[in-house]
Structure 1
Amino acid sequence: MATVLPENVNIKHPDKLFIGGEWVAPTSGDSIEVVSPHTEEVCAVIAEANADDVNAAVAAARQAFDHGPWPTMSVSERANALRRMAEILRGRIPELAAAFTAEIGALSSFAPVAVGGAVETLAAYADIGENYAWETSRPSTVPGNTAHVIREPVGVVAAIAPWNMPGAIMTQKIAPALISGCPVIMKPSPETPLEAYIIAEAAEEAGLPAGVINLVTAHREAADQLVQNPGVDKISFTGSTAAGRHIASVAGARMARVTLELGGKSPAIVLDDMPAEVAGKILARTITILSGQVCAMLSRAIVPAHRHDEIAEAIIAEMKQVKVGSPLDPETEMGPVAMKRQLERIEHYVETGIKEGAILAYGGRRVEGLKGYYFEPTLFTNVDNKMTIAREEIFGPVLSLIPARDVDHAVELANETEYGLNSSVFTNDAEAAYAIGRRIRAGNMAQNGMNADFTLPFGGFKCSGIGREGGVEGLTPYIETKVMLLQTGEAAE
């Protein structure tokens, strides 16, 4: 297999998988081509795992959990290993950023910030782990006994990450798993595998025991084998709701633990005190972040009906100012969408919106004159909340403007969705934002924009998922709780 990697990315074994502490050739000898969305050319070629490789990775992780030292090491020892990994990865932030840009067209101005935050997740969980109450004692109602409540690692973890934020999301999975004592099998998206390779190299260099970190790069069939393998105790998945439902059904059949961070159709409720030009600027600049390919994206703007047109005009005025172009240009404000099939998906939704009667007020087409998968910032106005574009996750720079009669109607529209991941209330009144935020059925809410702090628990209600990632709460999915009742006096004869 010819070695093909993006410029400034130096991976030692792109033609191999990392299993049981060794770089091994894939059983089939097959490979995966990664296509860069701003050149439409192959930017990397990496190994492709099949079901046999996946099973070997599970066996290695199982060995590491059942017989290896990692689960029985002290938390401080595991924390120090995570800190070594973080230090190694800090030195490779330029590579991680270059990979991120090459794979999905993330802006070169944004990529270092995103991957830098991902690296710090490892160090953060080292600190969280050392301060967590892994064992506590409390009185028992059983006479002569003391209860010891112990938190133990859940076991072997399959960490399945999506393509839109591959490094950040993968570290949100492996960091709490590792500090808890769980071996991990990393399964990145086949479109964005490079960050996981760099993480695996950092784990190897940091001296993690064999089998504690494994890497298999594969398409859906082999990934499904990972989910079904009985040697996997817990699955942490971020991706589409459809895939999440499948994983939940498979895991439920054998009672495997799951964390699912799935889709969203998140509302932004605009109140009357928010100036149109301010709301327009925030909404236009939000929908173009990562070309709209964010699960927490504020893709439904619910506005007072009597202000609909002025807010629409403000959004359009700001969308016209967005510079779309190469992610390598430091002045670019929105790059391409990640892949051809995603571009075609967005086009399909635009056609559907028009057919169902929404007004295409701005954008809605591929950007002319640019090679790559570029799509214009797009605004639909007079959208009915029952339309397809208001109900389904588009995952592109497409914003729906929905009129509401009053605040109560706005909250009703916000909650009229199968999703519940993120939300926002646009107002200068923090008390009003809080009161309305409590009425929205979503796992996250911010005042005046898509603000998020991933050191805090992140996740959704309803079909947006199960469980939380981030912060102390992010440890919980990787822990089983054991209660031991021990006698405080001599055993009865």
Structure 2
Amino acid sequence: MYINGEMVPGLSGRTIKSDDPFKGEPWAVVPDGNNADVDAAVAAARQAFDSGPWSRMTAMERARLLRKLGDIIARDAEELARCECRDNGKLYREMLGQWQYLPEWFYYYAGMGDKLQGSTIPSDRPNFFIYTRHEPIGVVGAVTPWNSPGLLLIFKLAAGLAAGCTFVVKPSEFTSVSTLELAKRLEEAGFPPGVFNVVTGQGSIGAHLVEHPDIDKIAFTGATETGKRIAASAAKNLTRVSLELGGKSPNVIFDDADIEVAVNGAIAGIFGATGQTCMAGSRLLVQKNIYDRVVEHLVKRTQTIKLGDPMAESTELGPVANEPQFAKVMEYIDIAKAEGATCAYGGQRDPELGGNFIQPTIFTGVHNGMRIAQEEVFGPILAVIPFENEEEAIAIANDTRFGLAAAVWTQNVHRAHRVAHQLNAGTVWINAYRVVSYAAPFGGFKESGLGRENGVEAIKEFTETKSVFVELSGEVRDPFRLG
């Protein structure tokens, strides 16, 4: 683990093997921590925040460290990408592009930390000067998932460090390696001990982190039901929370869309990253008069998707990341068939590769009441749903407890904006899918979460606003009068 600037073993001495999903065998070993490890990490982060060198740094000094970290990550993008491919089976070319892009988060927030300006407030009393300060919220407990551990940590880390917070990170037990590798880069960049700490192990230590009285904020990405439990646990200490949770995102194709472009977007939306993304476009809504044509094009393109070694440049779909998730996805395939959906393509473990490989799967004959259309599968499973007109498309799209992302495919500029404004989702793409930026807020409506990551809004998630009243006259005032 990484605690107070040092790589240390877990106090229990236990370890966890991290399996390579492609090879089906262990490739790394990490400590299986316990609550005492969490306590040590939180104590280090608390000391660094309260009285360590970090607590005395100016925003400009923090910015220099963030820029240096960005440079180091850019230098080591290939190595970090390989780590994540081995841990979760995602395509190397996708991970490489991701890690090459992630330095921009640190550059962006390096330029923002020294602009957390308060404001002066016109006073209703002539003898008072009033102003505000935005101060770092404190020690952040970041709990990250297995699907994109580096990306989803940096969504939190760059803004939080720029604000002046310190961190204790609990990565998924399936994918801890890239987070530990990132810790080495923070040390190289010159971040003081205790600013960034990593504890690895089973979910129970994550629960201890969430309930820890010395944690000021929890930043979590993961399943909605887990997020609800975290919010309830954090409430015991009134710990602040931001939650980026699940989705069942609608990808809406109207009859005036460029079908080839829209189908390509549908493929990217659901089969990119083997469907293991919270923003996956797992519901494809298609206008009835082009439904058959779209399904035909979709099946034809899906048949050409190449499954294989994630490290190979030609591979387009890797394995499901771990055995529990593989079992869950296969269960949903059975559920969809039992509910009467038609499997237009795929629907089974790949017969050639075996292991955790599931064929990219398309279900037609789906209505929005089916479980396959309402519950997050988190795998390469697409439900195709017809609609009659714009009004029905919006109704179907919004008929979900989630609200993370959505897309509209149309060449009608009026319809594009009209529909985008009516979709209940934190991110809406027009004639595109699965695009994020450090500059654009990301987060969900409804049960897809609380708070925002990225953009100007994100840094405020890591601050508290303080009002300061300065009495100017120096007069002795009535102590029993307000104001």
Q: Normalising to structure 2: TM-score of the pair?
A: 0.96
Check if 1:49 corresponds to 2:33. Answer: yes
Distance of 1:450 and 1:463 partners within structure 2: 21
Contact 1:37 1:104 in 2 (8 A): yes
Paired residue for 2:144, among 154, 161, 164? 161
Distance of 1:76 and 1:284 partners within structure 2: 43
Paired residue for 1:311, among 264, 270, 294? 294
Check if 1:260 corresponds to 2:243. Answer: yes
Partner SS for 1:224 = helix
| Residues 354-381 of structure 1: per-residue CA shift (max 9 Å, x gap) | 0001111111111112153111111111
Distance of 1:316 and 1:284 partners within structure 2: 10
| Residues 130-189 of structure 1: per-residue CA shift (max 9 Å, x gap) | 3x2333223222332121110000010001111111111111111111111111001111
Partner SS for 1:254 = coil
- Shifted more, 159-168 versus 273-282: the winner is 273-282
Q: 1:56-455 counterparts in 2 under 5 A?
A: 56-130=40-114, 132-455=115-438
Paired residue for 1:464, among 444, 448, 452? 448
Distance of 2:437 and 2:227 partners within structure 1: 21
* Deviation for aligned residue 1:489: 4.0
* Deviation for aligned residue 1:492: 4.3
Instruction: Could you tell me which runs of 5 or more consecutive residues in structure 2 were left unpaired when the two chains were aligned.
Output: 478-483
Distance of 1:148 and 1:340 partners within structure 2: 55
- What does residue 8 of structure 1 align with? none
Distance of 2:116 and 2:357 partners within structure 1: 49
- Shifted more, 415-424 versus 69-78: the winner is 69-78
Distance of 1:459 and 1:430 partners within structure 2: 25
- Shifted more, 106-115 versus 458-467: the winner is 106-115
Question: Following TM superposition, where does structure 1 have runs of at least 4 consecutive aligned residues deviating by more than 4 angstroms?
Answer: none
Contact 1:359 1:382 in 2 (8 A): yes
- What does residue 484 of structure 1 align with? 468
Partner SS for 2:120 = strand
| Residues 69-102 of structure 1: per-residue CA shift (max 9 Å, x gap) | 3233210011111122222222221110110111
What residue identity is the alignment partner of 1:271? F
RMSD: 1.4
Partner SS for 2:427 = coil
Q: Percent identical across equivalent pairs?
A: 38
Partner SS for 2:299 = helix
Cα distance change, pair 190–119 in 1 and its aligned pair in 2 (3 A)? farther
- What does residue 475 of structure 1 align with? 459
* Deviation for aligned residue 1:213: 0.8
* Deviation for aligned residue 1:479: 0.4
Distance of 2:305 and 2:269 partners within structure 1: 11
What residue identity is the alignment partner of 1:117? Y
Partner SS for 2:218 = strand
Contact 2:149 2:171 in 1 (8 A): yes
- What does residue 480 of structure 2 align with? none
Distance of 1:142 and 1:79 partners within structure 2: 38
Distance of 2:321 and 2:116 partners within structure 1: 42
Distance of 1:75 and 1:408 partners within structure 2: 49
* Deviation for aligned residue 1:67: 1.8
